[in-house]
A and B are shown apart, each in its own frame.
Chain A
Amino acid sequence: MARERRSARRPAAKVSRLRKKTAKVPPQQAPGPIEPVVRDGLRGTPLRDAHVQGGMVSLERWEPKLEYRWDTGVAIGRFLEGLREGKILGVRCDRCHRTVTPPRAFCEWCFKPMDAWVELADAGTINTFSICFITWDMQPLEVPQIPAVIEIDGTSPRVGFLHLIGALRAHTVDGIRKEIRVGQRVRAVWKPAAERTGAITDILHFTPA
């Protein structure tokens, strides 16, 4: 567990090292001392990121070590076992006549246990998608990621899960825009059986059918 306390009077050595590292993009001004200014009648204390990174601002750091092991329970557990076997499972409610996936033990509309498990096709239709140029933690991507909500065949309308679109013929963004659309038919591309772990990632991605 890294814990770091920084005082306002940290020696300048660390500041200059940091300035060097970030000097390329974009050229950054030396942070200069932290002092209040009055300009055109407006008062303030200019503070730059480099002041913070350089230890010129007193701050506390703490990295939480949070770790959980969630019980999957009946519904998610069986769904994940299905994925390991290369099957997409759903559940049916005989009161509202909906078939849904990912499965749940109870119908959230009827507030009663689900009635039956069903094996669904590993194909579906794109409900909505995005062509995304940054990773989840905001790093630029060369090849865009295409998150999509897939309505799985055999389920009720507007039921499905978030997955990725992959293995497209197109290699340019313009080509991707032409190749997929809302309503596009897609099929699951599975990991080889030996590599499956019982996770949503056992399906590598969906690809145009």
Chain B
Amino acid sequence: MENQVAIVGVGLTPLRPVSPDLSFREMIFEAATRAYADAGVTPREIDTFVTVAEDFHEGTSITDEYTPDQLGAVRRPVHTVAGDGLQGLAAAYMLVRSGAADVAVVEAHSKASNIVHHEEILALALDPTYERPWRVNPHAVAALEMRRYLHEANASPEVSAQVVVKNRGNALRNPFAAYGASLSPEEVLRDAPVAEPLRGLEVSGYADGAVVLVLASMERGRSLAGRPVLIRGIGWASDEPSLSGRPWAQAVYAHLACEMAYRLAAIHAPANEIDFFEVDDTYAYKELQHLEAALRLEVGEGARLTVSGRTARDGELPVNPSGGSLGMGYGYDASALVRTAMAALQLRGEAGAMQVTGARSAAVVSWRGVPTTSGGAVVLSAQ
């Protein structure tokens, strides 16, 4: 295929619950410095910059105006995608794929600790006429989804607790993770519910951090220092936003995003062709929905795979060997690029203690969080 696109540089700061020692600019500078060194490029060799940011999360209107300095992008082409991290990755991918750029950068970051009222920002995302008047906690929207999922999956809440145990355990091997822990399913199930059936430990904790990826055409990538990871396919989709009209049990947006990515990547049997998965697990049950999308499974089959232990780091179908957002921390739209960065390190064989043996291909599935029904997918391969 002509003009194949690869990730040739990965840079991120370790995720942390708070980061008072660094401004968001300083955090991004650190991630960008690492990514450019990894790729062996200077900012002048980068043709275009994409940043993923949401004004309400930054507290700054037109927040992308504050991006160029710390990326080395002053007086260069910069634009912002106010969306999911994978939508930003897709924008950079298309710029390279189309030949508009040889080298492109995508950046996302989180200063979640600087937001005083997360629930107010989430409330603003609900429909003002039909949904906001009830002042429902955003986690309750996830709980509605979880209840319906467990109901249609005919699964017990224990499966969601198992996801927590697995991911926070995996995070213990990940130096970038903020929330590694050794837990038992019983401890998770004993935890107080936030909004039944959702328990506190099933909600990923917020984290601060920055991630920068350098993309290049395969041709250009070969002459750079980094070990290229091929982007074989990418996709994204949005379902109905209304809380009344959405399919609660199944993450249809993720199924559609995966199909788009698989079509580009010519993936026919994902379970055979993909070695491991990094999928959104903002809430533990979301991993089950997103895994079902990635493997083209019916509602509930993801739960059964998890119960069987096959999604463990050393299982046949490892899911979130990095620890996911439950183990690493949740950084809004940066989470998807963190998942992608973790997958890229695995495919380069540079994942250290969390390395999945023989990992040659990966799928990443993302979600824009409550209350959205939007997400993305990307298929990556080692070279």
Contact = CB atoms under 8 A, between A and B. Distances in A.
Asked if A and B are interacting partners, one says yes
Interface of A: 3, 5, 60, 62, 64-76, 104-106, 108-109, 111
Contacts of B114: 68-71
Contacts, number: 79
A73 B20 CA distance: 6
B21 A73 contact: yes
B171 to A, nearest CB: 24
B129 A74 contact: no
Contacts of B33: 111
Main secondary structure of the interface of B (DSSP, over half): helix
12 contacts: A3-B132, A62-B128, A64-B124, A66-B121, A69-B114, A71-B19, A71-B111, A72-B23, A73-B23, A76-B23, A105-B29, A111-B43
A67 B23 contact: no
A105 B22 CA distance: 10
Contacts of B69: 104, 106, 108
B4 interface: no
A136 to B, nearest CB: 14
Nearest to A106: B29
B272 to A, nearest CB: 44
Contacts of A73: 21-27
B358 interface: no
Contact of B21 (A62, A70, A74, A104): A74
B21 A66 contact: no
A162 to B, nearest CB: 15
Contacts of A104: 25, 69
Given A67-B117, A75-B23, A108 B128 contact: no
Contacts of B244: none
Given A71-B113, A108-B70, A111-B43, 12 more contacts: A3-B133, A60-B128, A67-B115, A70-B59, A70-B114, A71-B21, A71-B24, A73-B22, A76-B23, A105-B23, A105-B25, A108-B68
B70 A106 contact: yes
A68 B59 contact: yes
A91 B22 CA distance: 17
B1 interface: no
B20 A71 contact: yes
Contacts of B42: 111
Contacts of B68: 108
A65 B116 CA distance: 10
B56 to A, nearest CB: 7
A65 B56 CA distance: 11
A65 B25 contact: no
B115 to A, nearest CB: 6
A114 to B, nearest CB: 11
Contacts of A3: 132-133
A74 B26 contact: yes
A111 B72 contact: yes
A65 B132 CA distance: 14
Contacts of B23: 70-76, 105
Contact of A66 (B25, B36, B117): B117
A3 B128 CA distance: 10
A111 B37 CA distance: 12
Contact of A65 (B70, B74, B117): B117
Contacts of B43: 111
B120 interface: yes
Q: Which 6 A-B pairs have the closest CB atoms?
A: A73-B23, A68-B59, A111-B72, A67-B116, A108-B69, A60-B128
